[in-house]
Amino acid sequence: MRDLQNLSGGGLRSARLLAPLAFACLVTAYPFAVSDYLIDIGFFFGIYALLGLSLNIVLGEVGLFDLGHAGFYAIGAYVTAVLNTRYQVPVLVLMPVSCLAAALFAYLVCSPIIHLKGDYLCIVTIGMGEIVRLALINNPFDLTGGPNGVFGIDFPRVGNLLVVDSSIEYYFLVWITVGVSIAGLVSLQHSRIGRAWNCIREDAVAAQATGINVRAYKLLAFVLGAALAGAAGNIYASKLMCVSPESFTFWESCLMFCIVLIGGMGSIPGVIVGAAFISLFPEIFRPFAMYRMLVFGSIMIVMMMVRPGGFWPRKRGAVTLRPLMEDTADGAV
């Protein structure tokens, strides 16, 4: 039995653990080896990874075309900005508040549109994202500062003991959040909730006929995705110390969409690869700024032709389920 496990599960499993472990080491070591400028690029890589993970729940796991995700990101950022500058609520306290606010907004806005399919939902979410942005520009109740936005957001801090005010600290704040999110999302992938999400993506009618409450699980995906985008908004707002509507345009939603498509729908390593591409690409091509979008577009087209499933699609099958069966052996005791 022991030998059999080593043969079938052991080798593959250690290979599957190796890649994330190596990546975690790289992420940890990176800021100690490079300049502040490169650390900041690493920070934005982390922000995009977080945004990609959040959209991946909606688009990747459930297959819902959401092109207004920047709206949730904006809500998170503005809740942090407004409550911190007006009422001096600490930024770290505002992280869960931003998550909840974005989640609540998603629940209210998505409830009436959740039954829409494919491109119809896509159009409505584009509208939703744009409405959020326009509302922010119009300065409702004198809260959002109009086109100028909100200035003077504090650092995340615990009293005066721990103040996140340097590039490297922000870098770790965002990557720890990414790490925690990945741990949670991997758990969900291997649960009945993740399974239900995937079933809906594969065939919503069959999912319904198999006993899955399609509406509830779609809403859960939106709410959870929005909450994560809200967290990203919170970190982003305190890093830049100011927020303005132009950071949350339709283009931003498109970038998140690209991250999930490039990486592979429903694949967490894929999201990381996609986020790396989106955030590092402009830096690498900075000297050729003129041709940047041309190259970017061409890469997207070639990518979709050569690997329509994404760069790193989620693998299913024997390998995926092996650890689960070993859980069984432990759990039975």
Partner 1 sequence: MGLSRAHAANDTVLSTKGLTKVFGGLKAVDSLDLEVHRGEILSLIGPNGAGKTTVFNVVTGIYTPEAGEVIFDGRPITGMKPHRIVSLGIARTFQNIRLFPDMTCLENVMAGQHVRSRAGFLSSLFRTPGMRREEAQIERTAMERLSQVGLERFAHDLAKNIAYGSQRMLEIARALATEPRLLVLDEPSSGLNPKETRDLMSFLEGLIQNDDLTILLIEHDMNVVMGISDWVVVMDDGVKIAEGRPEDIYHDPLVIEAYLGRESEEG
Cα–Cα distance, 95 to 74 (Å, whole number): 13
Cα–Cα distance, 80 to 97 (Å, whole number): 8
**Count of residues of this chain found to bind partner 1 when the rule CB under 8 A is applied:** 37
**Which CB atom, from 88 or from 328, has the smaller least distance to partner 1?**
328
325 binds partner 1 (CB under 8 A): yes
**83-122 residues near partner 1, rule: CB under 8 A:** none
How far apart are CB 173 and partner 1 at their closest, in Å?
21
Of 126, 199, 227, 243, the residue at the interface with partner 1 (CB under 8 A) is 199
234 binds partner 1 (CB under 8 A): no
Sign of CA dihedral 118, 123, 127, 133: positive
Residue carrying the six token digits 């758990």: 187
How far apart are CB 328 and partner 1 at their closest, in Å?
4
195 binds partner 1 (CB under 8 A): yes
Instruction: Pick the closest to residue 282 from 74, 54, 56, 45 (CA basis).
Output: 45
Provide the token pair at 200: 């809906």
What residues form DSSP beta bridges with 162? 158
Cα–Cα distance, 204 to 207 (Å, whole number): 5
Of 190, 242, 250, 280, the residue at the interface with partner 1 (CB under 8 A) is 190
Specify the stretch interacting with partner 1 by CB under 8 A; choose among 39-47, 72-80, 158-166, 325-333.
Answer: 325-333
Instruction: Pick the closest to residue 68 from 107, 111, 106 (CA basis).
Output: 106
**Which CB atom, from 102 or from 243, has the smaller least distance to partner 1?**
102
Of 36, 165, 202, 246, the residue at the interface with partner 1 (CB under 8 A) is 202
Residue 105 in contact with residue 72, Cβ under 8 Å? yes
Alpha helices in 67-117 (DSSP H): 69-87, 91-110
Q: Which residues bind partner 1 (CB under 8 A)?
A: 184, 187-188, 190-196, 198-199, 202-203, 205-214, 220, 316-318, 320-321, 324-325, 327-328, 330-332
